[in-house]
A = this chain, B = another copy of it.
Amino acid sequence: MPRRVTAIEEAARLFYKSLRLERLQTEVTLVEDALGRVLAVDVAAPEDLPALDRSAVDGYAVIARDTFGASPGNPVILRLASIDSRPDSHLRNGEAVYVDTGSPLPVGSDAVVMVEFTSKISPDTIEVYKAVAPHDDVSWRGEDVKMGEVALKEGTRLEPQDLGMLVALGISEVQVYKRPLVGILSTGSELAPPGQGKRRGEVTDVNSIVLSSMVRRYGGTPVPMGCIRDDFESIRSMIMDGLGRCDLMVVTGGTSEGQADLTVEAIDSLGKPGVVVHGVAVRPGRPTALASINGKPVINLSGYPVAAMIGFYLFGRPLLARMLRTSQDIDPCVRARVTRRIPAGPGLRSFVRVRVLRSGGAYLAEPVRSTGSGVISSMINANGFVVIPEHVEGVDENEEVDVVLFRPILEHTGSNDFPGYPADPDM
C-alpha cells in the first residue's frame, strides 16, 4: 500500500500526459445498428433538409401581400385553388390552398395563414382575419440543415435523434470508431474464477464481471483474461500478452499487499515510463496505480470490488471517452439531506455510498453501513454516492449534499406510482 497519494485530478493529468493513444480504427455500420456508437467522421448533408419549402402549421398557403390589411373586422377573401404537380401549376394572386403541417408549399405561395385565423365561407372561398408576412409559418428549404453543412460532428455519440437525422439525409451507413478493446485481468492467489467451486479461504473473482460490464456500458469491448495468482512472472507475461491485443489493460488486485507490490512492480517492469501514479487520494481506491507502457495505458485497481468500481469510474471511464474522442455522459445528481453524520478522514476524497429516498418533496440520503470496500452489498443497497472533499472531516446530520445517482430513487412512502416525470418545477 503506497504511503504517498496523488490528488485525483493530478493523477489523471500525469496519467494522460504519459500516454500516446493511437487513434482507434474505424468500421462501417448500418444506421439502424449505430445507437451509442461514436462517429469517426463529420457527416455533411448531401442535400438540403427539408428538401422543399414546407408549411409549419395546418392552414392556408397564400401570397403574403394578398393578406395585407386583413383583420377580424376587415377580412380578406381568397379563392381556393387546386394545385397539382404539373410544372405550370402555381398559386396566383387572390388564391389560397389548404396545407397540413409538413406539406410542401405550393409554387407561387410564400407564407401560410394558420387555420385558426381563417373561415371557410363557401366550398371555394375563405376569409382571412390576419395579415401574414412572407416566410410566416413556413419551414424553408435547408432550414434544418443546408446541403454541404456538417449535420453531425466526428466524436458524436449517436443518440436516437442523430439516427433520425442520418435517415432524413438519406444516409444508411456510417463510419464509427471501433469499440476500444479492454483487457481485464484479476490477480490474487485467493481468487477462484466464477462458476467454479471454492476451496476454504478462496474468494470468487467478481471484479472481472463488474469491470467487463462497466467497460461495455461506457463504450468498450471487454476482453476477459481470467484470474491469476500472485506471481511476478505470470502477471508480467499476462499483461504483456494483453497489451499486444488490447487498447487498455485493467488489472485488479496486488495493489494493497502488506508485504509487496507485486502487480505494480510487474507492470512497471514492462516498459517506459511505467507506473506514473501509485496511490490516489481517494477512499475507497487509494492503492490505485496508473501506468503507461510505451504509451499504452494500464490501470491497476484495488482488488476490492467497490474500490475497483470507484477507481474505474474515475480513471477508466474518462479514458474510454477520450479514446473514442467523445464527451463523457453526465451522471444524474440530486441534492439530498443526510439522515445521519458521515465521518470522513481528511486527506482523501471519500465516495460514500448512500441510499436516497424521496420523502415528500425532498430527498433524504441514508449512509449505507459497510465495514469495508469488499462489501459488495453496499453498492446494491445504495443508489448513489456522496463525494466528501479532501479537506472536510465529514458531513453533519441534516446537511445538504449532492448525491451522484447510479440507480433510481426509491419512494419513501412505498408508492411506486408512475414516477419519473419531469415535473412542474414549481411543485
Give chain A's interface residues, CB within 8 Å of chain B: 1, 8-9, 12-13, 16, 31-32, 35, 49-52, 54, 56-59, 85, 98, 100-104, 115, 139, 143-145, 151-152, 157, 159-165, 167-168, 170, 172, 190, 194-195, 198, 200-201, 203-207, 209-214, 216-217, 256-259, 303-305, 309, 314, 317-318, 321-322, 326-334, 349, 351, 371-372, 374-377, 379-380, 385, 387, 389-392, 401-402, 404-410, 416, 418-426
Contacts and interface: CB of A to CB of B under 8 A. Distances in A.
A204 to B, nearest CB: 5
Contacts of A59: 258
Contact of A160 (B51, B214, B385): B214
Given A161-B309, A203-B50, A376-B144, A100 B257 contact: yes
Given A31-B209, A213-B35, A374-B101, A327 B408 contact: yes
Contact of A377 (B35, B145, B389): B145
Contacts of A50: 203, 374
A246 B268 CA distance: 56
A407 B159 contact: yes
A80 to B, nearest CB: 13
21 contacts: A1-B58, A12-B421, A32-B209, A101-B256, A101-B372, A115-B258, A143-B371, A144-B377, A152-B380, A160-B209, A160-B214, A161-B376, A163-B213, A164-B305, A167-B209, A172-B194, A322-B418, A327-B419, A330-B405, A351-B422, A389-B425
A51 B390 CA distance: 35
Contacts of A214: 160
Contacts of A151: 377, 380
A166 to B, nearest CB: 8
Nearest to A422: B387
Given A101-B374, A209-B167, A374-B102, A422 B331 contact: yes
B309 A408 contact: no
